[in-house]
Amino acid sequence: MLTRDCIDCGLCARDCAFLQRHGGARQLAEKASAGTLPPEVPWQCSLCGLCTRLCPKDLDPAAVMLELRRAHFRQGGRPLSAHRRILAYERRGASPRFSLYLLPPGCRTVLFPGCALPGTRPGRLLELLHLLRQRYPDLGLVLDCCHKPSHDLGREEQVERMFGPVVHFLLAQGVRRVLTACPNCQRMFSSHGGALASQTVYEELCEINWQPPHTVAGTVTIHDPCGVRMRQGTHQAVRTLTTTLGLRIEEMRHCREKTVCCGEGGSVPYVAPGLAGSWTSLRLREAAERRVVTYCAGCVGFLGRHLHAMHLLDMVFAPRRALAGRIFVARPPLTSLNRLWLKFLLRRRMRQARIGQRRHDGTIGLTNVPQGDAD
Ligand code: SF4
Ligand code: SF4
Ligand code: SF4
């Protein structure tokens, strides 16, 4: 327990502006127990988990902040108005119009690319599907939201109500494995995916010994998204793919398990942009003008405002253009149109698949079962 076991060593606060602002983990926990913590404070923590990783006493300040967010909802609290936009984004991803489940006959594995990749890079998603189908001819595809934003905002009931059906539906349809392209989605399937096995497409590409059609030269550094802080296999796979491309990697001080947030974590930019920006500034200093490879569309978007950030999938499929900074990345409202276009296109291309989507109540149902696949 933090109030009892924290030795106030300050390790967790060394790079965390949030803890520095509020006097440290122990002080925060004491105020929380005494009920004197200002209500806005838990929403200012990025939930990045660096404090938890660094604590010599195995304490978990991030969990304390998440628990306070959850308590807000358990006590009947409503979402903050500042979070309206991110929650609308999440709702859109899990709506009947945007969601899609394509399950070819015999499908045991699905690709779950998340919301950001299909919106910003629809062509990349098609290339990825094509590549993975060489290993899994019956690979399925799910366009839906993992509800990590709700998870991080402490909306446990919403996660249960909206992510639970994803897991149950896939299992009921015979799916046993999920491949993720978004680290946040991976985190959700790891923690809430039940009997579904999951791993990132980056590990998958390493397993199939992916080789680039041609190599490129240059030096990059790697930003590991904090959502997969503890997934050493993912960190290694990303580095293997990067060096396979011919690139040299120079690591930043905060990397792998000790990575830092890009600034977008915990929906902090909506309530405390200065604190979110302190993480981004740290990344900028450590990147020191080197090109940054990362593997979360959100991180690329956030860091990309300040430095040359490249999505690993852009590096895999268009390395020269990615290195030259010539990748077209769609922005809203085009991102929504891209997702709708993908849904239309993929439904047409995979006519032999069982097709499902969300209903208005959040459950998922089949809308089309091809003849001969009605069992
Ligand atoms: S911002 Fe990150 S390091 Fe700081 S308290 Fe929150 S989870 Fe811990
Ligand atoms: S690292 Fe752990 S022991 Fe040290 S101040 Fe933070 S919570 Fe306390
Ligand atoms: S974590 Fe992935 S699926 Fe969830 S909102 Fe973000 S991009 Fe979408």
Is residue 80 situated within a structural domain? no
Whose Cα sits closest to atom 6 in ligand 2? 12
Are residues 216 and 298 part of one domain? yes
Mean pLDDT of 131-159: 97
354 phi-psi bin (left φ>0, alpha ψ -120 to 50, beta other): beta
Are residues 355 and 300 part of one domain? no
Task: State the Rg of the chain over Cα.
Answer: 21
Q: Is the Cα dihedral 288, 293, 294, 297 positive or negative?
A: positive
Is residue 218 situated within a structural domain? yes
Distance, CA of 330 to CA of 338 (rounded, Å): 8
Are residues 97 and 11 part of one domain? no
Residue 171: CB atoms within 10 A of its CB come to: 14
Distance, CA of 8 to CA of 3 (rounded, Å): 10
Is residue 350 situated within a structural domain? yes
pLDDT band at 373 (very low <50, low <70, confident <90, very high): low
Tokens of 53: 């990783």
Which bound ligand lies closest to the C-alpha atom of 120?
3
Are residues 139 and 51 part of one domain? no
Residue type, 245: L
The 10s digit of each residue's pLDDT in 266-319 is 999 999 999 999 999 999 999 999 999 999 999 999 999 999 999 999 999 999
Are residues 283 and 261 part of one domain? yes
Are residues 260 and 111 part of one domain? no
Is pLDDT at 375 greater than 60 in this prediction? no
Task: Give the Å distances, CA to CA, from 15 to 40, 260, 279.
Answer: 21, 9, 8
Looking at 74, 97, 130, the residue that finishes a domain is: 74
Whose Cα sits closest to atom 2 in ligand 3? 114
**pLDDT score of 167:** 98
Tokens of 28: 């925060």
Is residue 163 situated within a structural domain? yes
| Ligand 3 touching residue 116 (CB < 6 A) | yes
Are residues 260 and 112 part of one domain? no
Is pLDDT at 216 greater than 90 in this prediction? yes
**pLDDT score of 37:** 95
Task: Give the Å distances, CA to CA, from 180 to 128, 143, 235, 271.
Answer: 11, 11, 14, 29
Are residues 315 and 227 part of one domain? yes
Helix (H) or strand (E) holding 355: strand 354-358
Taking a C-beta distance cutoff of 8 angstroms, is the pair 156, 99 a contact? no
Is residue 256 situated within a structural domain? yes
Please give the distance, rounded to the nearest whole angstrom, from the Cα atom of residue 57 to the centre of ligand 3: 32
Please give the distance, rounded to the nearest whole angstrom, from the Cα atom of residue 290 to the centre of ligand 2: 32
Mean pLDDT of 51-58: 97
For residue 275, the ligand 1 atom closest to its alpha carbon is: 1
Is pLDDT at 370 greater than 90 in this prediction? no
| Ligand 1 touching residue 62 (CB < 6 A) | yes
Is residue 109 situated within a structural domain? yes
The 10s digit of each residue's pLDDT in 19-46 is 999 999 999 999 999 999 999 999 999 9
Looking at 26, 43, 74, the residue that finishes a domain is: 74
Whose Cα sits closest to atom 1 in ligand 2? 55
Please give the distance, rounded to the nearest whole angstrom, from the Cα atom of residue 340 to the centre of ligand 1: 36
Whose Cα sits closest to atom 8 in ligand 2? 6
| Ligand 1 touching residue 46 (CB < 6 A) | yes
Is residue 356 situated within a structural domain? yes
Helix (H) or strand (E) holding 374: none
Q: Which of 307, 267, 301, 256 is nearest to 285 (CA)?
A: 307
**pLDDT score of 245:** 98
* Domain limits for position 339: 86-206+331-368
Are residues 284 and 197 part of one domain? no
Whose Cα sits closest to atom 3 in ligand 2? 6
Mean pLDDT of 188-208: 97
Are residues 316 and 229 part of one domain? yes
Is residue 81 situated within a structural domain? no
Residue 216: CATH number of its domain: 3.40.50
In the three-class reduction of DSSP (H, G, I as helix; E, B as strand; rest coil), residue 148 is classed as helix
Residue type, 334: L
Mean pLDDT of 114-137: 96
Q: What is the DSSP letter of 170?
A: H
Are residues 312 and 358 part of one domain? no
Tell me how many domains the chain contains: 3
Please give the distance, rounded to the nearest whole angstrom, from the Cα atom of residue 97 to the centre of ligand 1: 36
Are residues 148 and 125 part of one domain? yes
Residue type, 150: S
Distance, CA of 176 to CA of 118 (rounded, Å): 23
Please give the distance, rounded to the nearest whole angstrom, from the Cα atom of residue 146 to the centre of ligand 1: 22
Outline where the chain has alpha helix (H): 2-5, 17-21, 25-34, 50-54, 61-74, 84-93, 116-120, 122-133, 148-153, 156-162, 164-172, 183-192, 201-207, 232-244, 273-287, 297-303, 312-317, 319-323, 334-349
Please give the distance, rounded to the nearest whole angstrom, from the Cα atom of residue 273 to the centre of ligand 2: 25
| Size of the chain in residues | 375
